[in-house]
Amino acid sequence: MKFTTVDEYIASFPTAVRTKLQTLRKTIKKAAPDAEEGISYNMPAFKQEGVLVYFAAFNSHIGLYPTVSPMAAFKKELSVYESGKGSVQFPFDQPMPLDLVTKIVRFKLKENMEKMKGKAKKKK
């Protein structure tokens, strides 16, 4: 199924998963209130001066895709989860680390803003 909105994406899951997805969505919005929400790669995405994070639900976990740099910056905190180069899996049977998600989103937002400042200086 091709999704066109985050609401549509979240609504496609069972209630328990929907609740976790909504909680994650609210946490990201609170950490980056000016970020644009949309669908990219057929999953929810938040962007502000570039991508902040993507997320998606699977059979036994929610995947968070903050790209490579936040994964490196929070390597120690993320070490208790299955992860890849630019992704981490939060199992359904464990509480989601919302404080850590907030830190990751804010880190990525700051990084994106600094990159944009650098680009603006180069144009002058």
pLDDT at 122: 59
- 66 found inside a domain: yes
Would you give per-residue pLDDT tens digits along the chain (124 residues)?
A: 899 999 999 999 999 999 999 999 999 999 999 999 999 999 999 999 999 999 999 999 999 999 999 999 999 999 999 999 999 999 999 999 999 999 999 999 999 999 888 776 655 5
Number of domains in the chain: 1
pLDDT at 118: 75
CATH classification at residue 56: 3.90.1150.200
Q: What sections of the chain are H helices per DSSP?
A: 6-11, 15-31, 68-73, 75-78, 98-123
- 62 found inside a domain: yes
Instruction: Indicate the helix (H) or strand (E) that contains 30.
Output: helix 15-31
Quick: pLDDT tens for 83-103.
Answer: 999 999 999 999 999 999 999
- 1 found inside a domain: no
Q: What phi, psi does 17 have (nearest 5°)?
A: -70, -40
Contact 53, 65 (CB under 8 A): yes
What's the domain range around 27? 6-123
- 36 found inside a domain: yes
Q: Is 122 exposed, middle or buried (0-12, 13-18, 19+ CB in 10 A)?
A: exposed
